Amino acid sequence: MRILGIETSCDESAVCLIDAEGSFGSDFQFKVLGNSLNSQIAIHAQYGGVFPNLAKREHAKNLVPLLEQTLSEAGMSLDTYTDISAYADKLREILAREPELYTQLLDFFSKNTKREHSNILQNVGMLQKPEIDAIAVTVGPGLEPALWVGINFARALSLVWNIPIVAVNHMEGHFVSALLRDDEGFRFQVSGNSEINTKTYNLEPITYPLLALLISGGHTELVLSSKLHDYKILGATRDDAVGEAFDKVARLLGLPYPGGAELSALAERARKSHEMSSQSIEMTSHWMLPRPMLHDKTLDFSFAGLKTAVLRLVEAEGSRRSDLPGRSDLLEFRMQIAREFEDAVTEVLVAKTMKAVDEYGVQTVVVGGGVSANGFIKSRIAEALEKAGLPRPLVPSRELATDNAIMIALAGYFRAKNRDFVNPDMLKANGNLKLA
């Protein structure tokens, strides 16, 4: 079954095409036929965060070129014909809020149109239809203006090509992406277009109950699963998500956007400096940060107070040293705060994860979402699981940790296999969509 995936939940525009077969388990396998992604990081960096309407505009500009690139990579054979003129009014209605996308899509259809010269068909444009079985599109959670662009794009393609749509929860995509490996047992990795059609991927064997720790810029959740599509949220953040907290603290320390990776690099530098030099500054008591909800009876999280604690430290340090955080002589301060912040977050994540493991008899732990790329967090969770006699956590490869269309196509495949299709006219964006 060939699935076209579309992802526009935040600041990544992505389109991919996979060919998958089998059920969720040992007989499942798939290939990536085409995969295209455009990141908006450079555009939003000047603002220090993602602007939803700017993201919406960029998605509308990027989706058609990404679709063309994906179909080209897949060597798609276009050999079925449809009269495009019959859909012009409906397309205009679907894409009323994305006029640039409407114009580009009409141009795309026009380029893939052949005109027959018989008396019967000489005035009818015949659109070539690709060999695609279903379209999988992210409907939430995420930024609603951005989500709507992907949804309406999927609706337009579905209308003209007469291909059904499956609605995908973005977090389910993160969950599924952590289970992937190639046919030699290595973690999923597409190393370039030259190899994109050659590797076969399948799923890691898992034992239920399964616990997913989903950590990203918008989410911090512990989700229990007894089978695919069966989810129970055990705990979630009550305010800032962990990735959001990383970025906000990085901004307080004067680090460029997106700051999460920069902050982690500073923290690692602080750890190495401490190991290599006896002259490194030890963490003093007035720099210690709280571990929010560490001993709370629930499995919920809270990181807003931790961010505020960093703000107070920055303000206090700035009152003693002017122009914080710009001066190079404050590097040590920034390194130590980055380290303490990452230590605090990690301690809470590990404690809550292991609490859930113990309470629910968990046998497999999955860590998904953009923050799953954080090496320190991964290593500490792995150490805790090893002490408990459990296998290492399943974590997506770095290229699948952040938002992408491959994970959406994969989650969509299992929905399509169950014929869980949706009425295109009933599709709606839901920025706060829950997994359970």
Residue 203 phi/psi, 5-degree rounding, is: -110, 145
pLDDT at residue 279, as a whole number: 45
Of 142, 104, 136, give the one whose Cα is nearest residue 432: 142
| More confident site: 215 or 121 | 215
pLDDT bin (cut points 50, 70, 90) of residue 50 is confident
| More confident site: 262 or 183 | 262
Q: Which amino acid is at 277?
A: S
Beta bridge partners of 2: 19
| CATH label, 210-393, candidates 3.30.420.40, 3.40.50.300, 3.30.70.141, 2.60.40.10 | 3.30.420.40
Q: What is the mean pLDDT of the chain?
A: 87
pLDDT at residue 3, as a whole number: 98
Rounded CA-CA distance 265/247 in Å is: 13
pLDDT at residue 117, as a whole number: 40
Distances (CA, A) of 412 to 245, 264, 276, 291, 396: 30, 33, 49, 38, 18
Q: Where are the alpha helices (DSSP H) in 227-303?
A: 242-252, 259-276
Looking at domain 2-74+133-204+400-426, its CATH superfamily turns out to be ATPase, nucleotide binding domain (3.30.420.40)
Model confidence over 22-31: pLDDT tens digits? 999 889 999 9
pLDDT bin (cut points 50, 70, 90) of residue 256 is confident
Residue 368 Ramachandran class (φ > 0 left, ψ -120 to 50 alpha, else beta): beta
pLDDT bin (cut points 50, 70, 90) of residue 191 is low
pLDDT bin (cut points 50, 70, 90) of residue 91 is very high
Model confidence over 364-413: pLDDT tens digits? 999 999 999 999 999 999 999 999 999 999 999 888 888 999 999 999 99
* CB 11 within 8 Å of CB 39: yes
pLDDT bin (cut points 50, 70, 90) of residue 119 is very low
DSSP code for 295: T
Checking if the pLDDT of 248 tops 50, the result is yes
Rounded CA-CA distance 61/104 in Å is: 8
| More confident site: 364 or 198 | 364
Percentage of the chain lying above the pLDDT 90 cut: 66
Average pLDDT score over residue span 99-104: 94
| More confident site: 260 or 214 | 214
Break the chain down into helix, strand, coil percent, rounded to 5. 45, 20, 35
Distances (CA, A) of 377 to 225, 250, 349, 433: 22, 17, 8, 26
Model confidence over 120-173: pLDDT tens digits? 334 445 566 789 999 999 999 999 999 999 999 999 999 999 999 999 999 999
Of 168, 127, 93, 183, give the one whose Cα is nearest residue 403: 168
Residue whose token pair is 């989500």: 147
Spell out the long-range contacts of 321-327 with Cβ–Cβ below 8 A and sequence spacing 24 or more: 324/254, 325/252, 325/253, 325/254, 326/254
Average pLDDT score over residue span 212-228: 94
Residue whose token pair is 């990203």: 216
* CB 218 within 8 Å of CB 281: no
For residue 82, count other CB atoms closer than 10 A to its CB: 18
pLDDT bin (cut points 50, 70, 90) of residue 110 is confident
Per DSSP (E only), the strands in 102-245 are: 113-115, 125-129, 134-140, 165-169, 180-182, 201-203, 210-215, 220-227, 230-236
pLDDT bin (cut points 50, 70, 90) of residue 183 is low
Model confidence over 280-321: pLDDT tens digits? 445 454 578 999 999 999 999 999 999 999 999 888 877 555
DSSP code for 301: B
* CB 164 within 8 Å of CB 171: no
Rounded CA-CA distance 411/224 in Å is: 17
pLDDT at residue 36, as a whole number: 94
pLDDT at residue 8, as a whole number: 97
The distance from CA 304 to its chain's CA centroid, rounded to whole angstroms, is 22
Please list the residue range(s) of the chain that carry CATH number 3.30.420.40.
2-74+133-204+400-426, 210-393
* CB 108 within 8 Å of CB 67: yes
pLDDT at residue 193, as a whole number: 53
Beta bridge partners of 203: 180
* CB 23 within 8 Å of CB 1: no
| Strand 201-203, strand 210-215: pairing | unpaired
Average pLDDT score over residue span 351-363: 98
Of 187, 302, 298, give the one whose Cα is nearest residue 244: 302
